[in-house]
Amino acid sequence: MVKAKIILVVLGAALAVPQVLAGSTPEEDRKAMVEYFMQMFPDVPFEGFVNGQYALNEDRRRQWESMQDFPPYEFAVADGQEMFETPFANGKTYASCFENDGIGIRQNYPYFDTEKNEVITLELAINRCREANGEEPLKWKKGAIASISGYMASTSQGKPINIKVPDDPDALAAYQDGKEFYYSRRGQLNFSCASCHVQNPGKWIRGDFLSPTVGQPANFPVHRSDWGEMGTLHRRFAGCNTNVRAEPLPAQSEGYRNLEYFLTYMSNGLPVVGPATRP
């Protein structure tokens, strides 16, 4: 009885909060943001935004294109495919955990699971698949998980990103939480994600050329020359947080998953191009 009461209270709060907070729907946010960047960069076609900084800087793009003959992530993706196809100790494979056997589905991640009431990213699904089959989970930010996720992205290239926020107060709350994280200033240096990627894309911050929000997640996981290897989106989040002297959240924490949910929703309609290379 007491328990039921608590659940009711919590539900009530969850129902009430989004109604008070949400002035605009996710789709209205996305349209306004795309419009904002199209006005800021009238010469960049919508699909061009998947190339991040390279969409905005001729010189950098030419250099980058000349490197595309031997992409440095090729071996990792081949490794990822092998791991993806190798059966677990129980004889099953990753394919058994995913829709369409895990082929061509990257564009649907992350999604909101209305039963578990949480955002499921591709990397989370990969590790949950392992655990469901009696295997140890992989480390979150690099190595095997990036290779497997890179392989899965490669089978989805060209498919338009299709993130949904179902008509569900918890899903909307997760989206709102990610949005609030994106626009809140953090760290001793006092930056939000938007300070750099909404207010200042197309500008130089010391030796780095800033990309816009829209298109960013389309190329993940990414091989960075800075890392000398592939890394996941949450590894990048952590890097961008620490650069402004903010403590990063743990990879795949609820906060970062909600952030990924918001960020990827903003790229709806753009094709998956991952894995890709970045400086």
Partner 1 sequence: MNRPLLTIGISLALCLPLAAQAGSKEDFNDVYSKAQSTHQDAGTFQWTVTSDRLKAAKSAADNGNFEKAAAMANEALRLAEESVAQRKQQQEAWRNVAIGN
Partner 2 sequence: MRQGLISVYLTTLVLSVTAPVFAEPSQGDIDRGKELAFSRTDGNCLACHQMDDGKLAGNIGPELADMKSRYPDREILYRRIWDETQFNEMTVMPPFGRHMILSKQEINRVIDYLYTL
Among 106, 130, 236, 257, contact with ligand HEC (rule: CB under 6 A): 236
- Decide which of partner 1, partner 2, ligand HEC, none touches 236; Cβ closer than 5 to 8 Å per partner kind: ligand HEC
222 is in the binding site of which of partner 1, partner 2, ligand HEC, none (Cβ under 5 to 8 A by kind)? ligand HEC
Given a contact cutoff of 8 angstroms between Cβ atoms, the answer to whether 181 and 191 are in contact is no
Q: Hey, what are 9's tokens?
A: 């209270």
Q: Which residues contact partner 1 (rule: CB under 8 A)? A: 23-24, 28-29, 32-33, 36, 179-181, 183-188, 190, 192, 194-195, 198-199, 242, 245-247, 249, 255
Shortest approach of partner 1 to residue 22 CB, angstroms? 9
Q: Is 197 in the site for ligand HEC (CB under 6 A)?
A: yes
Which segment (5-13, 145-153, 156-164, 239-247) binds ligand HEC by CB under 6 A? 239-247
207 touches partner 2 (CB under 8 A): yes
155: which residues sit within 8 A by CB, 6+ positions away?
Answer: 102, 103, 104, 106
Report which of 254, 262, 272, 252 is spatially closest to residue 131, judged by C-alpha positions. 252
Which residues sit opposite 278 in a β-bridge?
224
Residue 204 near which of partner 1, partner 2, ligand HEC, none (CB within 5-8 Å, type-dependent): partner 2
Indicate if 240 belongs to the active site: yes
Among 81, 133, 157, 200, binds partner 2 (CB under 8 A): 200
Cβ partners under 8 Å of residue 229, min gap 6: 76, 142, 146, 223
How far apart CA 53 and CA 25 sit, in angstroms, is 28
Task: Tell me the C-alpha distance between 235 and 260, whole Å.
Answer: 12
Nearest-angstrom CA–CA distance, 131 and 145: 14
Length of the chain: 279
Residues that bind ligand HEC (CB under 6 A): 52-53, 191, 193, 195-197, 205, 208, 210-211, 216, 219, 222, 236-237, 240-241, 243-244, 259, 263, 278
> Which sequence positions are flagged as catalytic?
240
